[in-house]
Chain A
């Protein structure tokens, strides 16, 4: 059995955003993380749902 990979089988991500520039606090990121994090809050804050106003 090998103990060393000869050819790593993972290609460099095509659409890399540098870690430091990932917006992890925006609503899109919150929704993405919410799928795997049981503790995430799904209701976006500061939206109005009242039918007779925006």
Chain B
């Protein structure tokens, strides 16, 4: 295997290997590795140039949009302004036209002066400062060699950085935890400095050199951090805290934000002052030479160093943590902790973190404190889900506009502009909403965006269908607005409205469409105006038909939309009038059965389902669509059709949730055996989908409940569900308990037997 699993996007460049402080907790000088003693003090021109060249080559090879270069030490400011200027110039020049360059420096702040900050302003180098909290806390470790306090000088540096002229360069404050400090005093002192970001670091420790635990508590560090968290919450989260943001992000299904937590592959490498390439330098806490790779920028590319087992181990995600961690549900957030903290002389790094109990308590503590707030309202509220779905479609349309970046030409601009005009008044906005909320509009948008991404030549042409959507919205709104739309293969298709045959098959062109009375007018160049009444079908005009079923308000029978073929069976061609009536009648009977057996599901569906599409038997590839449609293969068996309807509703409902919120993360990392008799193993997503479907179907056929309680138990004990996922599992339990409890089951059995007693 060549090249990294994940390319490096962060380079830690050691520009100076000595420091003007003598912090007794520093991993560079005070821990196991003493390699700093043999390094050049300052990075040379040669190392700078070669590293910049290697990084540019790496960014080009992997088409990276941006790379971060973190100037570090020792104390990087000791390299002096001219050396740092050289670094900025070399990297700026090497990366120019290849990738955006994100330059950062992390300093103790003692030397920070306008001389440095003017340089950083010139090259947009952003600055982070180390400070361990209030004076007492800071001076516990961060002192000069002669024991003097560094606190006043660091505060001076922070104040300088906060000045208006430099504030844009401020990255924030890094604070190393010492549980002897007062957590509230530490947070208050840091917040008082108004930094844009804070992070708390656990002091480096290993199983060989465990962290101090003065009161013996195995979770002393979690307790300290949770005290900070509670204070931070009480104060309204005045400053982002990277550690907390990372846990909240992973609990919600997002990425980790620091290498110390989460399972995201590490994408950083360290370049020492002598050009040697090393793993993260915190490994120096583990043992002499722990960070070394044997590679250097003179002889090796960044892809070469990626092959080093230590680097690769931290790119393996779940496979890179210990067996104990792989079985732990918290691993998705803690990721086994910082690699360094896993070290023991006996097992190397194949251990949980020496902070394992702390990390678990921290993650669970934050989860318990925020679980309600971390759940999207769409999980519990159908109206919210509909609104979120609609927002998503509109965001995708705006995203398509950006992605086209002018390639749609005047025709796109005209349609886009008219969409804006339409939504500026209530009737137009309602018409546009109706068309954009149509489930197959989403299919069109995704098809076009993926086509553009894959550089398919027809994608821009398909994007220009926007004019048809806008024309349909204008017709629906009844506004006096003319929209130019394309007809293809002799037909003009207006989504949600119908299809007009205008010319011979194979012919294409443009027409002008305008709302007119109870329909619309169409005018082709050089021809007269043609009036179409929406309600009156004819051989040339095929309207989208609607029907009612049970007590539902009505559905569109969409057998026209060119993007409707997104189910596991192929879409049926346009149904003739007799077939359409029969289809609607059969669906109506199935709907009534669902209303009897599963009244709550039917009531939910009545407010969210807008569209039903006839399918024919056979296999087809499923494609994504928006919320509100189900495809059904015709059958005269009402019970079978009701089951298909219920199954379609459950699938559409879960899919719609997954489109707008993260219900689980790291899907596929673990496998689960399905409890309902088959020997198949599935990822979490498969288990959830089948369980969700079976709970719905069990209202019609109770045997679908077999294995569901076991599946729910499995999922609730799993690592994958987010706060939203846990909320969904809880509502599934309620659904099961509410209907399949003693009294509920009686209702169910009677409903299925068509003998409603209540």
Contact = CB atoms under 8 A, between A and B. Distances in A.
Contact of B172 (A7, A20, A36, A54): A54
Interface in A1-54: 1-5, 7-20, 22-25, 29, 31-33, 35-39, 42-54
B254 interface: yes
Contacts of A51: 201, 258-260, 280, 282, 338
Contacts of B546: 1-5
Interface string B80-99: 00000000000000000000
A52 B434 contact: no
Interface in B273-323: 280-282
Interface string B438-458: 000010001001100110000
Contact of A54 (B199, B429, B554): B199
B500 interface: no
B422 to A, nearest CB: 10
A39 to B, nearest CB: 4
Contacts of A50: 10, 12, 70, 259, 268, 280
Contacts of B545: 1-3
B104 A47 contact: no
A48 B535 contact: no
Nearest to A5: B546
B193 to A, nearest CB: 14
Interface residues of B, number: 91
Nearest to B27: A52
Contact of A52 (B281, B395, B554): B281
Nearest to B202: A51
B399 interface: yes
B430 A8 contact: yes
B628 to A, nearest CB: 9
Contacts of B390: 13
Given A3-B536, A8-B434, A51-B201, A33 B399 contact: yes
- A2, A5, A45, A48 interface centre (most CB from chain B within 10 Å): A48
B423 A9 contact: no
B543 A3 contact: yes
Interface stretch (B146-154, B654-662, B690-698): B654-662
A4 B398 contact: no
B255 A43 contact: yes
A33 B445 CA distance: 11
Contact of B106 (A4, A42, A53): A53
A46 to B, nearest CB: 5
- Interface residue SS majority, chain B: mixed
A54 B106 contact: yes
Contacts of B402: 24-25
A35 B395 contact: no
Contacts of A9: 553-554, 610
A53 B128 contact: yes
A30 B426 CA distance: 29
Nearest to A42: B255
Given A3-B537, A15-B387, A54-B172, A10 B12 contact: no
Interface string B603-635: 000000010000000000000100000000000
Given A3-B534, A4-B543, A13 B201 contact: no
B392 interface: yes
Given A8-B430, A29-B395, A33-B399, A19 B423 contact: yes
Nearest to A46: B102
A8 B420 contact: no
Contacts of B106: 52-54
Interface of A: 1-5, 7-20, 22-25, 29, 31-33, 35-39, 42-54
Interface of B: 9-10, 12, 27, 65-66, 68, 70, 72, 100, 102, 104, 106, 128, 171-174, 197, 199, 201, 242, 254-260, 264, 266-268, 280-282, 338, 387, 390-392, 394-399, 401-402, 416, 419-420, 423-424, 426, 429-430, 433-434, 437, 442, 446, 449-450, 453-454, 476, 518, 534-537, 543-547, 553-554, 556-557, 577, 580-581, 584, 610, 624, 658-660, 662
Given A4-B535, A4-B543, 4 more contacts: A5-B556, A10-B434, A24-B398, A37-B450
6 contacts: A1-B577, A4-B543, A8-B434, A48-B10, A50-B259, A51-B280
